[in-house]
Amino acid sequence: MKHPLIAAFLLIVPLLLPGGARCDEKPKEGTVYRATIDTDEVQRVEMVGGSYFYKPDHVIVKVNVPVALTIRKESGIVPHNFVLKAPEAGINLDLSLEDDPQTVRFTPTKTGSYPFYCDKKFLFFPSHRKEGMEGTLEVIP
Ligand SMILES: [Cu+2]
């Protein structure tokens, strides 16, 4: 028979699983968003991150046109972030997502496909990125 402490631990672990109750919010398939250039020459993108997704998770923008990315976190206690490291394209983003939207600005200087992801990880569980919290910024001519 199991030690009572182990039994208690096994009971508690599911309660601590990040986002367990919110899995249904994850889109079944990826979503693509193709940015348009506003009259002020800015490409505006809105995004939500949560357990374990970004929506949209495939964003298409034009090269050498400023991007204003407004991103927020789905409600809940699980922390998430947004990491996009593409120094070759002039992009270096690493921000903690908040419930309130925040806007970051950057200008992609090189065409290509660049991954973004959440690098949060809870104890011995797989990283959020491994759980599917990643996407692609596609920079087109
Ligand atoms: Cu995350």
How would you write the pLDDT of the chain (141 residues) with one tens digit per residue?
455 544 444 444 444 444 444 444 555 678 999 999 999 999 999 999 999 999 999 999 999 999 999 999 999 999 999 999 999 999 999 999 999 999 999 999 999 999 999 999 999 999 999 999 999 999 999
Distance 140 CA to ligand 1 centre (A): 27
Task: Tell me how many degrees the CA angle 77-82-60 measures, rounded to the nearest 5.
Answer: 130
Q: How far is the CA of 132 from the centre of ligand 1 (A)?
A: 9
Residue 98 in contact with residue 70, Cβ under 8 Å?
no
Name 92's bridge partners.
85
Give the distance (Å) from ligand 1 centre to CA of residue 24.
16
What span, in angstroms and rounded, lies between the C-alpha atoms of 141 and 134?
Answer: 23
- R_g over Cα of the chain: 18
4 C-alpha to ligand 1 centroid (Å):
33
Rounded to the nearest whole angstrom, what is the distance from the C-alpha of residue 64 to the centroid of ligand 1? 29
- pTM comes to 0.79
